[in-house]
Amino acid sequence: MSLATTQVDYQQRVDFDRLRAYRQERIQKALAQADMAAVLCFDPNSVRYATSSYQGEWSRDKMFRYALIPAGGGPILFDSRTLTHVARRPEQYPWLVGRVRNSEFLWRGAFQPQEPRADKMVGTLKSVLHDLGLDGAPIGVDLVDMQFLAAAHRAGLNLVDGQQVMLEARVIKSQDEVELMRIAASIAEAAFWEMARFLRPGVRENELVALISSELINRGSEQIECVAVASGPHTNPHSSLFSNRVIRPGEIVYIDIMHAYNGYRTCYYRSFVVGEATKEQRNLYTQCRRWLYDAIDIARAGITSADIVEKWPAAAETGSSGVKDESTGFALSLGHGLGMSLWEKPIINREASLDQPYPIEAGMTLALETYAGAPDGSFGVRLEEDVHVLENGYDLLTKFPADSLTECPVA
């Protein structure tokens, strides 16, 4: 498939009808495996996965959009009363015609508990479940508002864990999902390149965040979850914050771009140096890259998360100041599923994976990341790649140069 953020009539790129059908198949398979009658989704990533509907980032944390997906049936979207007139337009979500209803939202507890909204919300859901013949059946829920939970108990709803159902559904990616992540990576790479041309002494960390954010939006990103920037002494111990710190000659800067294109994300670290790298900086970067690629090179169906973490050092050996064990160094060498959210199944690190190995399957997309810190605590480097697992290998989705430490500004 060709990389592009727009469709054309003479090439097959992302087939969104095929994408929607695939996601419905995955949910239905997960419901059947869990022997669950339906799943109720409040997580905005799962709502989008199930319904292919989106109302922008302003609606992400308010829980007024939710979806019910019955076993053997199509999704029912509950949307804000002020938005359902948009959602019901045939051109908006033609795949949801007749299946969009007004939500009875609680705005995460902002309404007073003594108001009858939660009971009304549960009453509406019970009515829908009755119409579907699911009275008393086990209904999965992925995220819960406490007022909703109390009302559901009063009404006798049989609620069970639906979070695992949706995470299992999302763990294996289709060709269209992978292509969307490939496009997201290409947008991040353009932002990295412009940043590398701009990075020089006197630039502040927040200026890099502003430049990268502008490049991402201009090139088609729909959500910037985070642009993490750490420079100089902020790079050891490992940090994911940014500040207004002025960057000085010879310092390391590492950056993580976490953004979404059509719902699908990158988690994408690169390290840079302002000016010419020293031998110590190059050697430390080489170590960090070796740890990462020793794990990437074994990626294929049939291994486990334990096989991956055995390629990584113990957390105390990474050089991050103050880290003494796996608990305090949880994310220094890390792998995680990647898709509509940053951390999907499986989570891969030494603390969990050695004792509870997770099987790696073809179709998973993993973000794998490593860190190496200088022994004297003066600086550290970070590197991350996004990898699509194949039967006999992997497809590297992230392409920004990583063979050596990038010296800035680049020409």
Proportion of the chain above pLDDT 90, given as a percent: 82
Q: How confident is the model at residue 114 (pLDDT cuts 50, 70, 90)?
A: confident
Residue 345: exposed, middle, or buried by beta-carbon count in 10 A (0-12, 13-18, 19+)? Answer: middle
**87 sits in which H/E element:** helix 84-87
Q: Domain residues of the chain, as ranges?
A: 16-169, 175-408
Q: Report, as an integer, the average pLDDT of 203-228.
A: 97
Average pLDDT, the chain: 94
Tokens of 271: 């390290």
Q: Which amino acid is at 147?
A: Q
Q: Report, as an integer, the average pLDDT of 212-220.
A: 97
Q: How confident is the model at residue 106 (pLDDT cuts 50, 70, 90)?
A: confident
Whether the predicted pLDDT of 1 surpasses 60? no
Whether the predicted pLDDT of 190 surpasses 60? yes
Q: How confident is the model at residue 401 (pLDDT cuts 50, 70, 90)?
A: very high
Whether the predicted pLDDT of 64 surpasses 90? no
Tens-place pLDDT, residues 9-44:
888 889 999 999 999 999 999 999 999 999 999 999
Q: How confident is the model at residue 384 (pLDDT cuts 50, 70, 90)?
A: very high
Beta strands in 34-148 (DSSP E): 38-41, 66-70, 76-79, 100-102, 139-141
Q: How confident is the model at residue 86 (pLDDT cuts 50, 70, 90)?
A: low
Q: How far apart (Å, rounded) are the C-alpha atoms in residues 289 and 292?
A: 5
Q: What is the pLDDT of residue 187?
A: 97
Architecture per CATH, domain 16-169, reads as: 3-Layer(aba) Sandwich (3.40)
The answer to which of 37-46, 73-82, 251-260 has the lowest mean pLDDT is: 73-82
Q: Report, as an integer, the average pLDDT of 63-79.
A: 95
Q: What is the pLDDT of residue 88?
A: 67
> Rg for the chain (alpha carbons), in Å?
23
Q: What is the pLDDT of residue 2?
A: 40
Where is pLDDT greater, at 3 or 326? 326
Q: What is the pLDDT of residue 110?
A: 83
Q: What letter would DSSP give residue 150?
A: H
Q: What is the pTM of this model?
A: 0.94
Protein fold of 175-408: Creatine Amidinohydrolase (3.90.230)
Q: What letter would DSSP give residue 172?
A: S
Of 168, 369, 347, nearest in space to 267 by CA: 369
Whether the predicted pLDDT of 313 surpasses 70? yes
